[in-house]
Structure 1
Amino acid sequence: MSLISSNNDWDPLEEVILGTAQGLTLPPVDVSLRHFFEPPADAASERIDADVMRRVVDEAEEDFADAAKILTDAGVTVRRPEPPVADRRYASPDWESVASHALMPRDCLLVVGDHVIEAPMAARSRYFETGPFRSLLREYFDSGAVWLSAPKPTLPDETYVYEPGRSLVGEIEPLFDAANMLRCGHDIFFNVSNTGNRFGAEWLRRVLGPQFRVHEMSLCTDHVGTTIHILRPGLLLANSERLTPELIPEQLRSWKTIWVDPPEDDGYAFAWPRASVWVGMNILALGPDRILVPSNQTRLARQLEEVGIEPILTRFRHGRTFGGGLHCCSLDVRRTGELADYL
């Protein structure tokens, strides 16, 4: 029986991968990084003191340990990747980069049913990001999971397209980060953005086949976890600054929506933030009525309590520092429940 089985983000959680801050390396400020982060003009001159980097890594690992204990105490199996080698350099025929981290399995791996898919990511520094997870992927494959990898992209400079008010990735080859997806049983909502294109949505549509419906949307500039979550069938969590009722995908528009006010600001340890304050709504569900929430997000916790969801608070200090929250830094590989139609 496959150890991989997850069709949505709310069924009771049985097994999860948490990332690691070990090996964290700041990538070069190249065209792909500027396209994703839109950093300040002087970003290339940023230098991180070794003591600051060590503190960030240590504190992030402490926070992961806290989350792991909460999950384990709740009966969830917690898995971790192999620590990556810091400052690992590599090159293609056309560009070179430095591997960044193994913090965010949600970005580089997509779980759909018993499938786990390595995503064709647009950031050059994330080209080999699934490497630290390979031993886990082999174990899941040996258990019966379907392990796929999207075509490895070439990522020429022409990939990175700018239009008035937004950035996109060109339609040269299939591209997406797995965190572009909103999973809802037979329906998958794919955010077309600066980390995912329509070519990528079509590739996913053909690979998954008629059992799944891949819907294209454009809700935000990159990943969806700081903009919208499906908490359970009929209930959404939505970013009050980025969305209005009319912008929610039509298929979900009749559902009740909790509108999140601007979250508390954790601050950041480096010269400029890799995420907005909205990383505070980046949450992980243990089930339809229990959700792991950053401990400083007390307003969000109260909003969840009002709809009968128990917020489980856990310390998470560096979401804005390295650009990923609880949802980004985790990957639910097994949840109870069957593939179903919720629409």
Structure 2
Amino acid sequence: MALSSIVNSWTEWAPLEFICVGTAEGMCCPDETPSYPWHTGPPNLCSYIRAISGPRPRRRIEQAQAQLDNLAELLRAESIVVASSIDEIFDEDVRQVLTRKRTSLEKSSQTNTNDKTIQKNKIDVCRPVSSSQEELCFNHQLATPHFKSQYQFGLACPRDILITLGDTVVEAPTSAHIRYFESEYYKPLLYSLWRCDPNMKWLQPPKPTCSSIKMFNDVDYWEKINTKDFNKSIFANSGYKTNLNENEIAFDAADIVRMGKDVFYKKSASANNQGLYWLRRTFPNLRFHMMHFPTDGSYHLDTSLIPLRPPTSGSHGLVLLNQNYPPLASEMKLFTDNDWRSIWAPLHSTGEVPPLALCTGNLNANILSLNDHCVVIEECETPMYRLLHDELGFDVITCPLRVLNEFGGGIHCVTWDIRRQDSCSDYFPNQNYDSECQLDLNNYFDRKIFSNHDEDTS
């Protein structure tokens, strides 16, 4: 990475240097959307829950915000500077800041002879803030030629809306109308990055209409179908079709996981094939791989495929898989052919979620890597702690964030990494990408699920 660069992130595991943490201020219970089911509470309450929309209770917002603030404090304890805008962080010359950081790390590595001493890198943290003096609020009506919405979502989960691909920030073309303008609230931060980093690129795919008629097969789809039935049988049997059609480009940033030159993309309720095609055409020097999960047609990839560290000359690469949502055996062959070891994440410690939760309990694998040997997980996930710390030897930092399940995410969801000590390395040299790109994804019926046996015999 050139010393003048700020935006630089190619993987999920390289040493973290600059990250954005979301905010719960002003968040609302959203309107219904045909994109995907919002509420994951008890089925007998669904009809009542769907009738609830508008500002969330102040007490719950305060609890969620306290947990996000605690995450920022936790990062500050890891030698982190917390600021409300990057102008505060980079008021010094960027070249001097990054040079000083690297010099201190080099000196530490040369003089430190105690193997038990952990050297903490400096990580900068920013938070989305209102561009005016008014508090953030999302309880005002939106209207475009294609839809009307009484409420917006909020800014708790920047990972859904923004992604860094190398030196490029991409604003995701979300299909959820209540998030149509969400990236606008990050424009002050994005313009600060633009002014400070002459190498930054900034892209937005064609803005989707979010029209319930143009983009979706059935406006009332999620009222007619049980999400468990959809995941277990309908999704794979239909050729991985969801209510989201292929008329427009659509994906959330959290449908993407970055692993250097190779980027993985989940076919889901929020990401269609057109989104993958746009990424392949826009970033021809990267390789984008479609991932299908036969028992999971819900949204986002960062609870199902979690890379921990890459292969080295002395060890396998490690990637976590969600045992509730196993991937296809054919698509995991890329990992086994390139010295990646697949590890099944333990079941979550509790499946209980609040009635108005926007997420299921399957967020235990939604973790944030500070580097390839240190991760942050939710504090109640003791089975995950035992796996990562006791069995795999990771430094594990625990953080309370359970309230944020109600607001749409886990630790990975509520962050967006902007800079890591990273490069566009090739961790999957053994592959036939041209052949993969010829697959007809609109008629795809492979349903053989990956298992430990597939890895052992590869």
Question: Does the pair score TM above 0.5?
Answer: yes
Counterpart of 1:214 (choices 264, 285, 288) is 288
Check if 1:115 corresponds to 2:171.
no
Cα deviation for residue 92 of structure 1 reads 1.4
1:159 counterpart SS class: coil
Q: Matched residues in 2 for 1:244 and 1:151: separation?
A: 29
Residue of structure 2 in register with 1:62 after alignment: 66
Cα deviation for residue 319 of structure 1 reads 3.4
Q: Matched residues in 2 for 1:37 and 1:218: separation?
A: 23
Counterpart of 1:238 (choices 321, 330, 351) is 321
Q: Matched residues in 1 for 2:276 and 2:67: separation?
A: 34
When residues 54 and 196 of structure 1 are mapped into structure 2, their CA distance, relative to the original with a 3 A threshold, is same
Amino acid at match of 1:203: W
Cα deviation for residue 6 of structure 1 reads 0.3
Give deviations 1:17-66, integer Å, cap 9, x for gaps.
000000101111243354x6577233332368x7x721221111111122
Amino acid at match of 1:130: S
Cα deviation for residue 183 of structure 1 reads 0.6
Residue of structure 1 in register with 2:52 after alignment: 46
Q: Matched residues in 2 for 1:312 and 1:247: separation?
A: 34
Give deviations 1:91-135, integer Å, cap 9, x for gaps.
111211121101111100111001001110011101011122111
Check if 1:289 corresponds to 2:293.
no
Check if 1:26 corresponds to 2:26.
no
More strand by share: 1
Q: Matched residues in 1 for 2:327 and 2:275: separation?
A: 26
Q: Matched residues in 2 for 1:127 and 1:292: separation?
A: 30
> 94-103 vs 285-294, which deviates more?
94-103
Give deviations 1:270-292, integer Å, cap 9, x for gaps.
x3431111112211000000000
Check if 1:192 corresponds to 2:251.
no
Q: Matched residues in 2 for 1:336 and 1:63: separation?
A: 27
Amino acid at match of 1:137: L
Tell whether the 8 Å contact from 2:17 to 2:123 is kept in structure 1 after alignment: yes
1:56 counterpart SS class: helix
Check if 1:155 corresponds to 2:207.
no
> 147-156 vs 8-17, which deviates more?
147-156
Q: Matched residues in 1 for 2:5 and 2:140: separation?
A: 33
2:412 counterpart SS class: coil
2:29 counterpart SS class: coil
Check if 1:91 corresponds to 2:143.
yes
Counterpart of 1:76 (choices 114, 118, 123) is 123
Q: Matched residues in 2 for 1:197 and 1:140: separation?
A: 29
2:18 counterpart SS class: strand
Amino acid at match of 1:304: L
Residue of structure 2 in register with 1:226 after alignment: 303
Amino acid at match of 2:50: A
Q: Matched residues in 2 for 1:333 and 1:342: separation?
A: 21
- Gap regions ≥5 residues in structure 2: 79-121, 131-135, 222-229, 236-241, 311-316, 429-458
Residue of structure 2 in register with 1:133 after alignment: 186
Q: Matched residues in 2 for 1:132 and 1:100: separation?
A: 12
Tell whether the 8 Å contact from 1:279 to 1:319 is kept in structure 2 after alignment: no
Q: Matched residues in 2 for 1:173 and 1:38: separation?
A: 27
Amino acid at match of 2:216: Y
Cα deviation for residue 260 of structure 1 reads 1.5
Tell whether the 8 Å contact from 2:35 to 2:270 is kept in structure 1 after alignment: no
- Gap regions ≥5 residues in structure 1: none
Amino acid at match of 1:341: D
Q: Matched residues in 1 for 2:308 and 2:5: separation?
A: 25
Amino acid at match of 1:340: S
Q: Matched residues in 2 for 1:114 and 1:224: separation?
A: 22
Amino acid at match of 2:302: G
Over the aligned positions, Cα root-mean-square deviation in angstroms equals: 2.1
When residues 196 and 309 of structure 1 are mapped into structure 2, their CA distance, relative to the original with a 3 A threshold, is same
Cα deviation for residue 245 of structure 1 reads 7.1
Cα deviation for residue 86 of structure 1 reads 2.7
Give the fraction of aligned pairs with identical amino acids, expressed as a percent.
30
Question: Between Structure 1 and Structure 2, how many residues are aligned?
Answer: 338
Q: Matched residues in 1 for 2:287 and 2:59: separation?
A: 44
Amino acid at match of 1:214: F
Amino acid at match of 1:22: E
Q: Matched residues in 2 for 1:78 and 1:207: separation?
A: 29
Residue of structure 1 in register with 2:350 after alignment: 265
Residue of structure 1 in register with 2:254 after alignment: 179
Q: Matched residues in 1 for 2:53 and 2:426: separation?
A: 50
When residues 151 and 259 of structure 1 are mapped into structure 2, their CA distance, relative to the original with a 3 A threshold, is same
Check if 1:317 corresponds to 2:402.
yes
1:281 counterpart SS class: coil
TM-score by length of 1: 0.92
When residues 69 and 25 of structure 1 are mapped into structure 2, their CA distance, relative to the original with a 3 A threshold, is same
Residue of structure 2 in register with 1:249 after alignment: 332
Q: Matched residues in 1 for 2:331 and 2:385: separation?
A: 22
